[in-house]
Amino acid sequence: MSAPNTDMSNTLVSHLGITFSEMSGQKVVAQMPVEARVHQPFGILHGGASVALAESVASVGAYLNVKERGMLAVGLEINANHLRSVTSGTVTATGTPIFQGRTTEVWSIEIKDERGKMVCVSRCTLAIIAPPTAG
């Protein structure tokens, strides 16, 4: 499943193998395989890949809230606490909004391994902007 009206092919989302299983303006769930392409040199899930997954989840959810107004949602700030290492399998990110305003949204994202153990917790602030003009 991909975000409505959004082609995610040839993006970081597709490169990392992220897939979405639930998407709404109130909850987004996505999975990412943990394999060599998302490993750091020590063979464990790269923290940057977790952050990319978290921001992707938050961005899709916020976009779904503002698309009817013709607006976009883009990452403004993100933080993450990496709590447990993962070497293989699949991680699942679940994002829910903390705040939904006219010009910003704040989302909380939890990333868990296949056993349901917390791998990473993140908070992402998104700016709500008009689409860029061509040129």
Catalytic (active-site) positions:
55
Strand partners, 106: 99, 125
DSSP code per residue over 10-52? TSHHHHTT-EEEEE-SS-EEEEEEESGGGB-TTSSB-HHHHHH
